[in-house]
Amino acid sequence: MTATLEVTHDTRYDYAAPVSLAHHLAHLQPLADAHQELLAFDLEISPEPALLRLRHDAQGNAERHFSLEQPHRRLTVRATSRVRVAPRFAALDAESGPAWDELARRLRYVARAPFLPEVEFALPSPYVPRLHELRGYAAPSFAAGRPLAAAALDLMHRIHADFRYQSQSTAVDTPLAQVWATRRGVCQDFAHLMAGAMRMLGLPVRYVSGYLLTHAPEGGAAMQGADASHAWVQVWCPGTEGVPADGWLDLDPTNDLVPGLGHVRLAVGRDFGDVTPLRGVIRGGGGSHVLTVGVSTRVIGSDSNPERELLERTVEEQRR
């Protein structure tokens, strides 16, 4: 079973005064691998950039750097992607694979021992600092000797139950400690919480940015954070049955599920700061701007149901 999805991601900045020079970095092209085939990608930028360069970072994320040298009071960026998604975790056996504490011991620093690159994702990062309360919160899910994937799934269930999804309750720079204290947030916060809790135990967790349909092609209830930019995590579970050879298992604590055909992966990193869809520095602008973001997602084909009605929603968010 596969599904072909189309995503249109619109970003618009309206500035209080003309911007004379701008440099931007975009993470807007979906990842491509054996389970997510990138069929087409188009990026429209207005005004037309003086420089546009594509590179891939160490995680395989497509980064586009562009510069604007003409005065402008509005910047618009439209990314249109078409991807074919195949299931990755249909055969998952969470009780297989290594015990979490055994893996954590393997990842500890030992002088002159081989370095595992996954260790980078077990360390604190700017948006996911060390928060000691999260170690105690994670503990009930991580009994000694418990298989890592089973423990991670249990932690995901608990985060979903204990924290409330509330749109616009936080901003992109809301501290993790505040989310912990208020017990509410959005998908970015749920992902950072889960990453923070597991990293306090010495376990690698990656932050995933992407997109999510209201209803996955497999069916089921409507999902939180859908038809917009979305975020979830990847937990490193090497040797777990039903997990790809690279060992990364996707988990969506906002919706309490293992991602399937309704999730499109955009980029992976330590936290939101590594994979921000669009960011930059400008000269001018009058000190203020209005940001408008709109995302539409739709299914344009499924090998299990060719007559499926297209699913399309648009979410508009404004931040000042």
pLDDT for position 219: 58
Token pair of 272 as six digits: 């939101």
- Radius of gyration, CA atoms only, the chain: 20
Query: What is this structure's pTM?
Result: 0.90
All domains in the chain, ordered by first residue: 3-85+275-319 (2.60.40.2250), 100-273 (3.10.620.30)
Res. 310 pLDDT band, cuts 50 70 90? very low
Per-residue three-class SS string for 22-85: EEEEECCCCCCECCEEEEEEEEEEECCCCEEEEEECCCCCEEEEEEECCCEEEEEEEEEEEEEE
- Count of H helices and E strands in the chain? 5, 14
User: Among the listed ranges 48-52, 103-107, 226-230, which one has the minimum average pLDDT value?
Assistant: 226-230
Confidence band of 115 (pLDDT split at 50, 70, 90): confident
Please tell me the predicted confidence (pLDDT) of residue 215.
61
Task: Report pLDDT digits (tens) over 156-173.
Answer: 999 999 999 998 899 989
pLDDT in tens, 201-222: 999 999 999 999 866 566 555 4
What confidence tens digit (pLDDT) does each residue in 220-276 have? Answer: 554 554 556 899 999 999 999 999 999 999 999 999 999 999 999 999 999 999 999
Least confident of 101-110, 157-166, 214-223, 304-313: 304-313
Give the mean pLDDT of the chain.
91
SS3 call for 200: coil
pLDDT confidence bin for 62, thresholds 50/70/90: very high
Q: What is the pLDDT of residue 313?
A: 34
pLDDT at 315 over 80: no
CB atoms within 10 A of CB 232: 28
